[in-house]
């Protein structure tokens, strides 16, 4: 729901001339780039618990973050007031990174990123040998909004939201007589942003984000089990529909019979089939983070010296995408004012791009990829993923399972952890099946999948033709939390460690 420029200027009580003054103030001590990030967020949450919607609330968050760069070094400060004095004070605090006493305050235009080269394309070894596209600054365009809003959450009546949650919880309860507890939550937010930098670029955006989630406790005899389901989009309150209730309530009980039956299997090294969709979290954690350019710039990533090289078999392509309509990870502009875009990280098995913010793009001499993201105005932007997924291959998913003599099938992970330098990962499996002689047999749970990200990528031996981007409420934490999504087709990995019984 992109509004007019005046709407954002009035929301934050600033003018273009004041923003120019602030950007210049940040550069006063010798910094070579500065930017301003204004945010006004309104968030609401409601909870259904013990049979009724008895809890609700909202929060208001407002302020401006001011960043000054000196080379790759960052100075950052923020103010919860947008009074001129408070912002000048923040700009000076951020400018301290430059550390000199230079007093000429003119906002110098910097000739350091790829857009400043004369030709539309520039060759770069740092981009997998491909030409770097000339930087396109973009302009806010309501007609191209990736998350248009019909009904603004800020004016959606609490009674309507509470009625939706009650109906959803009732629908879940009706699905299974073993259900003893249902918690349903609805959280929504609308954020207005205004961005300005020392290039003189002004961008603005309004981002909606809403999540409906249920947590269900089941009891069968003396055994208890739990399940959770969620759906999350960048959209307005028009998402509160009967179709959504049907989708989430079905998801909340899906596989519960198998979960009660499931056992912890014998562990060891075996073939693992990743189910399409939510298994993409493994791609995000175990490989995606290692593609973020800050880890590579600092030499910490296992992929630091692999640009332009084959890192997995032909036929595998991995994308990080900000352009999916209403997707949780989508962006019109990133938090540095760079247009949201679709970035191919791996093309046909070759590493072709890291995920860049302005700092790393400058370091590598490439165009920013629109991955500069932050949790709020309180944080400086970092290279972060958006919607990260593997493109579909040419194998039939049933054929993939049929090809496995002994292994496991998993489609629901949680609590993944990865060590960026080593690439080692561990993921907890919520649900899955043993595969024996090409067929899914015993349900399994309470196990871990362990491996090494780059090695697992290299060990992929089949990619299904069923790519799915999951619609759950994924949040990435890298010191800051940002909404993301993930996806993958059915994939067969040849030899991961499954931590199970002896």
Partner 1 sequence: MTDNLNINAGLLLPEDMELAKSALEIALKEGASKARANLSFSVMDLVATLNGQVDKVTHSFDRSLTMYIYADGRYGTFSTNRVSADSLTEFIRKGLETVRALSPDPCRDLPDISRTALDAGTGLELGLWDPERNDMDPQRRRAIALGASIWPKEGLISEEGEYSDSVSDLYLVDTQGLECRQIETSFEYGVEVTVQDAAGNRYSGYWWDSNPKLENLNADECGPAALKRAMSQFDPQDFPVGRYNMVVENEVAGRLLTPVLNALNGSAIQQQNSFLADSLGKKVFPDNLTVIDCAREEGKSGSRLFDSEGVATSNSIIIGHGVVEEFFVTTYIAAKTGLKPTVDDCSRPKVMPTMRGGKREIMDRLSDGILVTGFNGGNSNPTTGRFSFGVEGFLFKNGKILHPVREAVITGDLVTLWNNLTAAGSDYRRCSSRQVPTLAFKDVDFSA
Q: Which of residues 356-395 bind partner 1 (CB under 8 A)?
A: 378, 380
> Binding residue for partner 1 (CB under 8 A) from 4, 13, 16, 80?
80
CB of 322 to partner 1, least distance (A): 25
> Binding residue for partner 1 (CB under 8 A) from 254, 446, 458, 495?
446
Cβ neighbours of residue 10 closer than 8 Å, sequence gap 6 or more: none
- Stretch binding partner 1 (CB under 8 A), from 136-144, 169-177, 261-269, 388-396: 261-269
- DSSP secondary structure letters along 58-97: EEEEEEEEEEEEETTEEEEEEES--SHHHHHHHHHHHHTT
Tokens representing 501 are: 């019984």
- Stretch binding partner 1 (CB under 8 A), from 113-121, 138-146, 246-254, 410-418: 410-418
**Residues of span 328-357 touching partner 1 by CB under 8 A:** none
**How far apart are alpha carbons 412 and 275 in whole angstroms?**
8
C-alpha separations of 10 from 132, 148, 233 in Å: 37, 21, 28
- Stretch binding partner 1 (CB under 8 A), from 27-35, 313-321, 325-333, 414-422: 414-422
> Binding residue for partner 1 (CB under 8 A) from 13, 15, 16, 58?
58
CB of 380 to partner 1, least distance (A): 7
**420 contacts partner 1 (rule: CB under 8 A):** yes
Residue 172-211 contact track with partner 1, rule CB under 8 A, x = bound: --------xx-x----------------------------
Cα dihedral sign for 491, 494, 498, 502? Answer: positive
CB of 387 to partner 1, least distance (A): 23
- DSSP secondary structure letters along 15-56: -HHHHHHHHHHHHTTS-SEEEEEEEEEEEEEEEEETTEEEEE
Tokens representing 137 are: 């600054």
CB of 74 to partner 1, least distance (A): 4
**90 contacts partner 1 (rule: CB under 8 A):** yes
**Residues of span 8-37 touching partner 1 by CB under 8 A:** none
**447 contacts partner 1 (rule: CB under 8 A):** yes
- Stretch binding partner 1 (CB under 8 A), from 1-9, 10-18, 57-65, 317-325: 57-65
Q: Do 377 and 38 contact (CB within 8 A), yes or no?
A: yes
> Binding residue for partner 1 (CB under 8 A) from 112, 187, 191, 300?
300
- Stretch binding partner 1 (CB under 8 A), from 3-11, 129-137, 140-148, 420-428: 420-428
- Residue whose CB is less far from partner 1, 114 or 418: 418
**415 contacts partner 1 (rule: CB under 8 A):** yes
Tokens representing 486 are: 């993930």
Q: Do 150 and 236 contact (CB within 8 A), yes or no?
A: yes
CB of 374 to partner 1, least distance (A): 12
CB of 7 to partner 1, least distance (A): 18
**101 contacts partner 1 (rule: CB under 8 A):** no
**Residues of span 33-52 touching partner 1 by CB under 8 A:** 44, 46, 49-50, 52
C-alpha separations of 242 from 54, 123, 252, 363 in Å: 22, 52, 15, 50
Burial category of 465 from C-beta neighbours within 10 Å (exposed 0-12, middle 13-18, buried 19 and up): middle
**How far apart are alpha carbons 450 and 498 in whole angstroms?**
6
> Binding residue for partner 1 (CB under 8 A) from 5, 20, 21, 61?
61
| Partners of residue 232 on adjacent β-strands | 211
> Binding residue for partner 1 (CB under 8 A) from 64, 122, 162, 172?
162
**How far apart are alpha carbons 223 and 234 in whole angstroms?**
38
Judged by CB under 8 A, how many residues of this single chain contact partner 1? 79
Three-class DSSP category at 292: strand
């Amino acid at each position: 729901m992109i509004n007019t420029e005046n709407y954002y200027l009035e929301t934050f009580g600033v003018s273009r001339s004041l923003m120019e003054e602030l950007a210049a103030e940040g550069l006063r001590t010798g910094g070579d780039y500065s930017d301003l990030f204004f945010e006004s967020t309104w968030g609401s949450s409601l909870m259904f618990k013990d049979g009724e919607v008895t809890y609700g609330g909202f929060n208001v968050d407002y302020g401006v973050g001011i960043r000054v760069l000196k080379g790759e070094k960052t100075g950052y400060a923020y103010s919860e007031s947008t009074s001129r004095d408070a912002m000048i004070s923040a700009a000076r605090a951020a400018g301290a990174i430059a550390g000199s006493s230079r007093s000429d305050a003119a906002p110098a235009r910097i000739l350091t990123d790829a857009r400043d080269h004369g030709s539309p394309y520039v060759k770069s070894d740092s981009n997998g040998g491909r030409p770097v596209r000339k930087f396109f600054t973009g302009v806010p365009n309501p007609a191209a909004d990736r998350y248009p809003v019909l009904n603004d959450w800020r004016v959606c009546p609490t009674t309507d939201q509470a009625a939706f949650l009650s109906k959803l919880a009732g629908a879940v309860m009706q699905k299974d007589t073993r259900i003893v507890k249902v918690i349903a939550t609805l959280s929504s937010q609308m954020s207005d942003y205004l961005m300005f930098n020392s290039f003189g670029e002004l961008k603005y955006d309004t981002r909606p984000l809403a999540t409906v989630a249920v947590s269900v406790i089941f009891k069968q005899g003396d055994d208890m089990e739990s399940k959770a389901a969620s759906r999350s989009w960048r959209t307005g309150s028009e998402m509160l529909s009967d179709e959504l209730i049907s989708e989430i309530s079905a998801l909340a009980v899906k596989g519960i019979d198998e979960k009660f039956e499931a056992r912890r299997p014998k562990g060891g090294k075996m073939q693992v089939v990743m189910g399409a969709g939510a298994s993409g979290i493994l791609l995000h954690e175990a490989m995606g983070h290692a593609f973020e350019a800050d880890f590579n710039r600092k030499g910490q990533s296992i992929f630091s010296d692999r640009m332009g090289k084959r890192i997995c078999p032909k036929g595998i392509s991995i994308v990080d995408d900000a352009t999916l309509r209403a997707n949780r990870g989508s962006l019109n502009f990133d938090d540095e004012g760079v247009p949201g875009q679709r970035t191919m990280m791996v093309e046909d098995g070759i590493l072709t791009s890291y995920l860049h913010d302005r700092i790393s793009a400058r370091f590598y001499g490439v165009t920013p990829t629109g991955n500069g993201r932050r949790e709020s105005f309180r944080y400086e932007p970092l290279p972060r993923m958006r919607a990260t997924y593997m493109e579909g291959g040419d194998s039939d998913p049933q054929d993939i399972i049929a090809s496995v003599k002994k292994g496991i099938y998993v489609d629901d992970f949680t609590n993944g952890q990865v060590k960026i330098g080593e690439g080692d990962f561990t993921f907890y499996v919520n649900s899955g099946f043993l595969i024996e002689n090409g067929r899914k047999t015993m349900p399994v749970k309470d196990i871990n999948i362990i491996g090494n990200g780059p090695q697992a990528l290299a060990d992929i031996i089949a990619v299904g033709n069923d790519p799915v981007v999951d619609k759950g409420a994924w949040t990435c934490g890298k010191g800051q939390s940002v909404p993301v999504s993930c996806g993958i087709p059915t994939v067969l990995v040849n030899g991961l460690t499954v931590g199970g019984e002896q």
